[in-house]
Structure 1
Amino acid sequence: MRAQPLNRRRRLRGTWQRLRDDAIRWINRRHAHDGEHARLGRDRIYILPTRAGYTLLGIILIMLLGSINYANNMAFLLTFLLAGIGHNAIWYTHRNLLGLEIRPLPIDPVFAGSAPEAQLRLHETDGRGREAINVRVGAHACEPVAIPAGGRSDARIVLPAVPRGVYRLPRQRVDTRFPLGVLEAWSWLNLDAEILVYPSPVDPGRALAGHGDGDEDTGARGQSEEPPDHIRPYRPGDPPGRIIWKAYARSGKLHVRESPGGVQDDLWFDYDALPHGDTETRLSMLCHQVLEAHAQERAWGLRLPGQRIDPGQGPEHRDHCLQALARFRAAPAPLPLEDGA
């Protein structure tokens, strides 16, 4: 007996999901792409009662039947007063979105494991204030936004953490239930916004320490325990190609070979020079080296398969290298997230 109601609920849920998906596909065909700017006109704002709105509609219908049955003028007055308030709410709720201009702001890159934050700028152009506007991306929403007349406000949406790569911001939803909460007006947006996710930094000195075991007995005998003058202790950011594994085998400490006289020449961070075979681990090591070289104000270059970045330094050079690591063999893809629309 209990299996039949459960199966009926599943069928109803499946039917509702199919209808909803068909409606979303139809809307996406109507508003396929907005680019870098969107304006909400009458043709792209949808409005329906909320659960409270359907409850109010049911109460009004019951009151109307009671008023007709008892021929009570005061009941008629109250019924049509509530109906008039609900009718005006349709206008005010729809008007709260009408004419809004929305554009995406650049999204700051993040490292893998950190949550990016999308920002959409809402601009009011009709000279009237707007209240309680929500912007959603999937199940992730901003705090309700108020916009002064002729002003602008920014909606900030914290998105889920994702692996390294290049992502596109998925379809966005703008909605409002102002002023009474009995109706919801909404619109779909397809604004362009790129999300760059850098590799998570991994210290190559620790990650590569186990790779020196193969040189443990090669040339280890008959040498002094003290490294020569042109060999110094390893510092984060030093290229793995200069690590002296023989010294590590003797002392258990990492040392690197420096140019004669202690002069620091340009560093080269080479993807192919790293002994680890995993692509993401190599990129994480290179990311750590880039950050450490920048912190030490060193000049460095970056070699990736099919790409070479000449030595340089400074914030712009750092960002250029980090972007190259984020884009390495990564095609732009929609940001994966759960659907909460």
Structure 2
Amino acid sequence: MSIRSDWRAAWQRHFFRWIDKRVPPARQISLNRKNLYIFPNRTGFLYLVMTLLIWLLGTNYQNNLILALCYLMVSLFVVAIHHTFANLSGISVRFVQATPAFAGEAASFVLELSTRNRYGSEHVEIRWGDGEARTLTLAPATPQRVSLQVPSRQRGYLRPGRLLIQSHFPLGIIRCWSWLNLEAAALIYPAPAAIDEPQHLASSGREEGGTSTRGGDDFSGLREYQPGDPIKHIAWKQFAQHKGLFTKEYEAYFSAEKWLDWHSLNQLQELRLSGLCYWALHYERQQIPYGLSLPGLTLAPALGDYHLQAVLKALAQFNLAREAGYVD
């Protein structure tokens, strides 16, 4: 099975490279003789075998009625080839938009299909690769939109791959199909993960309503020396003035505003992004203004759907251009 699957994958890559030379990737593609392929399916091969057996039977017994049936079946087969091809020829497929999703969820890709066939196009099946399939009937000169779901695994840009469009109409013995390489991508946000709330250092000393914690860089005062205090924190100046032995205390002052601060967390990159995503959604639900501070990017505190989308987009795109070669 492994050899067979490897051979099939290699053949498919070669076939897709050949397709891209004939039909380059685009946001909108029309189906015609350059990108449509047609061949009998399993039912079609059984139909041909049955036709051959009837022809042998009619020839052996020299029965004109049986031979007439055989010729009728061959005629229907040839007619089916033309009608199946005509059913897909003239269809135009356009990528409209993709709905962002969180990692692990399914993203929706919206496509618009229309046909120039004056009789319309019936029983048209479309799907992304091995994804869910949708069957449509297109009316002439009437665009129709369809949404296809594609599961996501990680943040960044989800590219669904090639779109399969096919039909077995009208007799079900001929398969006409095409693989379309549409320029489509959906933005995938980090999956929200609950972590400790990020804190943002105040920009200038104490702030009204802010919080503080020991162990920072700002001097806060003196206290009497206690055994075990670090020697570097001893107030030697006061000791030299015979005022006693004191220890210097330091604090860190945090901003009263809510900030999604990258530097305040110590988790791995993906967990940090998931945690910042979680708190962004939390602050938005609670209607608490929040800002975002990432290496090389700062968004001022705000609220609203536009601000939330900007924050989630920044988290989804973080380091992608440098690490994976993505371009927005």
Does TM-score exceed 0.5, indicating one fold? yes
Kept after mapping to 1: 8 A contact 2:152/2:188? no
1:291 to partner: Cα distance: 1.1
Matched with 2:261 is 270
- What secondary structure, in the 3-state scheme, does the structure 2 residue paired with 1:117 have? strand
Give yes or no for the alignment of 1:281 onto 2:271: yes
Report how far residue 202 of structure 1 moved: 1.9
Aligned partners of 1:143, 1:285: CA distance in 2, in Å?
Answer: 36
What amino acid maps onto 1:66 in structure 2? L
CA contact (8 A) 1:128 1:150 kept: no
Structure ranking higher in helix proportion: 1
1:152 deviates by 2.5
User: What does residue 262 of structure 1 align with?
Assistant: none
- Contact kept? 1:134, 1:141, Cα under 8 Å: no
Partner of 2:306: 316
Question: Is residue 327 from structure 1 mapped to residue 317 from structure 2 by the alignment?
Answer: yes
Say whether the 8 Å CA contact 1:111–1:198 is kept in structure 2: yes
1:59 CA drift (Å) = 1.2
**Number of paired residues?**
278
Gaps in structure 2 of 5+ consecutive residues: 199-207, 216-252
How far apart, in 1, do the equivalents of 2:13 and 2:29 lie? 23
- Correspondent of 2:98 among 78, 94, 107: 107
Structure 1 residue 142, shift from structure 2 partner:
2.2
Identify the residue that residue 339 of structure 1 maps to in structure 2: none
Aligned to 2:22: 30
Amino acid in the other structure paired with 1:27: I
* C-alpha displacement of 1:28: 2.5
Match of 1:126? 117
2:33 aligned residue: 42
Letter paired with 1:299: P
Identity of aligned residues (%): 31
Q: TM-score scaled by structure 1?
A: 0.73
- How many angstroms apart in 2 are the aligned matches of 1:242 and 1:163? 35
Q: 1:168, 1:333 within 8 Å by CA — same for their partners in 2?
A: no
Pick closer, same or farther for the CA change 1:81–1:154 going to 2, 3 Å. same
Compare CA radii of gyration and give the structure with the larger one.
Answer: 2
Provide the residue aligned with 1:156 in structure 2: 147
Query: Is this contact kept in 1: 2:261–2:292, CA < 8 A?
Result: yes
Summarize the Cα distance change of 1:242–1:74 in structure 2 as closer, same or farther, 3 Å threshold. farther
Secondary structure (helix, strand or coil) at the match of 1:122 reads strand
8 Å contact from structure 2 (residues 127, 134) kept in 1: no
Q: Relative contact order, CA 8 A, sep 6+: which one is greater?
A: 1
Contact 1:169–1:192 under 8 Å retained in 2: no
- TM-score where L is the length of structure 2: 0.76
CA positional deviation for 1:126? 3.2
Residue 70 (str. 1) matches residue 65 (str. 2):
no
* In structure 1, C-alpha distance between the alignment counterparts of 2:298 and 2:82, rounded to whole Å: 59
Q: Which residue of 1 aligns with 2:219?
A: none
Q: Deviations over 1:238-262 (max 9, x none)?
A: xxx958699xxxxxxxxxx998xxx
Per-residue CA deviation, residues 6-30 of structure 1 (Å, 9 max, x unaligned), is: xxx8877766665444333322222
Distance in 1 between the 2:285 and 2:74 partners? 67
* 2:293 aligned partner: 303
1:107–1:116 contact (8 Å) kept in structure 2: yes
User: Alpha carbons of 1:295 and 1:282: their partners in 2 closer, same or farther (altered >3 Å)?
Assistant: same
